Amino acid sequence: MNQLISSDGDGGALEEACPTTGWKARIARQFGKPEGRMGRLVGHAMSVKNKARSEWVLSLLEIEAVDRVLEIGFGSGRDLRRVASIATEGLTAGVDHSAEMVKMARGTCIGATLAGRADIRLGSADSIPFPDACFTKAFSINAVQFWRDRRAAMLEIRRVLRPGGLVGVALEPRGASNPELALANGHVLAADLEAAGFDDVRLESSDLGRVPTVCVIGLKGDPE
């Protein structure tokens, strides 16, 4: 499995996201797994940024009212709420390994949860706490750079999708990145999806910022 490429050179985005020392390291760790009071602040910061990016990713998945949609790494839960406002006859579900974000997202999605249309759980991308084949769409935005085993996570996403289901994995470049690095990471993620057995894998890039956000889309084909 190829490493994601960081803007610092040959490090991997994981290394970039989690420098090992100093205040930068502490903040980066919070974005990877928000905890405690600082985690709540980071969660609020996540919730105010980048509506256009989220809407672009969701538009690529063509979510419909009857869809059953899973988000992996939902942070504050803003995008879960966006999905719940579209998938009004289906289900909006989420998994995040931060107990703090689970609490925050349940609050963000209180309406859909009370209506029985949202199911927000604590868990990890590489061990998704949902049964096989229960979703029609799955997506993740700016969380893949923290996954310790991307291949295992993508196999898990494929497991919980129904045949004909779609996945979208998006990565928004950090400040110091550039278009070439962003696209190179898109190709790494596309190769991961193909290796996990997804079909019709394609790489999309947005023109929303100076550096494009990339999103790889894959299809879980029908069994032969």
Ligand X SMILES: C[S@@+](CC[C@H](N)C(=O)[O-])C[C@H]1O[C@@H](n2cnc3c(N)ncnc32)[C@H](O)[C@@H]1O
Which residues of this chain interact with ligand X, rule CB under 6 A?
A: 31-34, 46, 72-75, 95-98, 101, 124-125, 141-143, 146-147
Cβ-based nearer residue to ligand X, 130 or 146: 146
Nearest distance from C-beta of residue 166 to ligand X, angstroms: 17
Cβ-based nearer residue to ligand X, 41 or 66: 41
Burial per residue of 71-80, b for 16 or more beta-carbon CB atoms within 10 angstroms, e otherwise: bbbbbbbbbb
Angle, CA 178 vertex, CA 15 and CA 137 arms, to 5°: 75
Residue 41 and residue 109 in contact, taking contact as beta carbons nearer than 8 Å: no
The DSSP line for 161-215 is: EEEEEEEEEEEPPPTT--HHHHHHHHHHHHHHHHHTT-EEEEEEE--SSSS--EE
Cβ-based nearer residue to ligand X, 136 or 142: 142
Q: Helix 36-48 vs helix 99-108: angle between axes, to the nearest 10 degrees?
A: 40
Nearest distance from C-beta of residue 8 to ligand X, angstroms: 18
Cβ-based nearer residue to ligand X, 81 or 97: 97
Cβ-based nearer residue to ligand X, 109 or 221: 109
Cβ-based nearer residue to ligand X, 19 or 32: 32
Using a 10 angstrom Cβ sphere, with 0-12 exposed, 13-18 middle and 19 or more buried, the burial of residue 10 is exposed
Nearest distance from C-beta of residue 224 to ligand X, angstroms: 31
Residue 94 CA to residue 70 CA, distance in Å, equals: 5
Tracing tokens 């289900």 back to the chain, one arrives at 91
Nearest distance from C-beta of residue 144 to ligand X, angstroms: 8
Residue 105 and residue 170 in contact, taking contact as beta carbons nearer than 8 Å: no
Nearest distance from C-beta of residue 14 to ligand X, angstroms: 10
The token pair at 142 is 């700016």
Residue 108 and residue 79 in contact, taking contact as beta carbons nearer than 8 Å: no
Nearest distance from C-beta of residue 55 to ligand X, angstroms: 12
